[in-house]
Amino acid sequence: MSGQRIVVAMSGGVDSSAVAAMLVDQGYDCIGVTMRTFPTGASPSTRKAHGCCTLQEARDAQRVAAELGIPHYLLNYEDVFQENVIDNFLDEYVSGRTPNPCVRCNQFIKFDALREFATRMEASHVASGHYARINHNRRWRLYKGQDPHKDQSYVLYVLTQEQLAHTMFPLAGLTKAETRETARRLGLHLADKAESYEVCFVPDGDYLKFISTRRPDALRPGPVRHVSGEVLGEHRGIAFHTIGQRRGLGIAAPRPLYVIRIEVASNTLWVGEEEHLHRSRFLVKDANWIAFDRPPDGLLCEARIRYNSPEGPARIHLQPDGRLEVELRSPQRAVAPGQSAVFYQEDEVLGGGIIEKVLDTPAMVGARAAKENGGP
């Protein structure tokens, strides 16, 4: 709608820059916003690193805004980012869980704090470069993006009805290649800029260094045990390991070994072979539903247990305390507490939540599979 005011979240990358250019080209009154989330005390080298929300990205966003002739704001969300994203990231790893900071950033920063800014600026919507689709059919609904290689619906399941009503995803129907072509057509200087994949506050990808520097108490050695009970070695700290991890265990074995369970109470890292990684039942907490206020008990859907994994058939059982018991039709590899489980029906995101606890063991999974295959 020509003249309608939109706040555009501009990270300095191709996607968000293309969104700003597209909306300006369509006649919207755009305001560019870059969120400053640099960790307190970050070194100059960290602040200048390429990656989401770094100083260089902010400068790129500012230049694009100038090219488009729109106002640009650099807003300081350092404190709220530290509290809701970085501190949570550290707490989860120290507790033996594997968090997804992008989900938390979307929940508390991009579609919460930024929405408050948009309201103050009398803007009707916040627009971002996410590859996902929003539609309205009796209620606001969320769908996968057109490009299966760029679909970001998994990290958006936390959006509420109110947030979806005031959010725009202009890249919903485009592929990444089409987005770059659009950026070229609209004259953006960074149409061919490379993408950044690392966590923004760990730009060098060294999680061990990041965690140990900020939580030195995480460096607490403990035993590494095989599923047979045999002690194979010693780990540096459970915070430095995730379910499904193979490298960095420091153990010599005739077959590849993987982390299959992290036992916080005894500070034990349990390892096993590939066949020990698969699970089919787990609990989910902090569920957010988009497709309905409350799902029917026994809901059949497709569940995705991490960002890059495929969905698998699942049934959801509602628990009296609000948690969900998820039962997968086929066991999936490396179900990790702390990660998000997101539920789909075809392309629609029904909702999701945080994996709290795995309920079955390798022996239980094996027994169930044998029974299904005609065993005793």
Report CA dihedral (276, 281, 287, 288) to the nearest 10 degrees: 90
**For residue 15, what is the DSSP state?**
H
Of 193, 337, 190, the closest CA to residue 260 belongs to 337
Known catalytic membership, residue 105: yes
22 Cβ contact partners less than 8 Å away, ≥ 6 residues apart:
170, 182, 186
* Helix ranges restricted to H, 195-346: 207-214
For 123, the 3-state DSSP assignment is coil
Distances (CA, A) of 60 to 13, 48, 189, 193: 8, 12, 9, 10
112 Cβ contact partners less than 8 Å away, ≥ 6 residues apart:
163
Question: Which residue in the list 30, 102, 105, 301 is annotated as catalytic?
Answer: 105
> Which residue shows structure tokens 């995705």?
304
Question: Which residue in the list 30, 52, 53, 200 is annotated as catalytic?
Answer: 200
Residues acting as catalytic residues:
105, 200
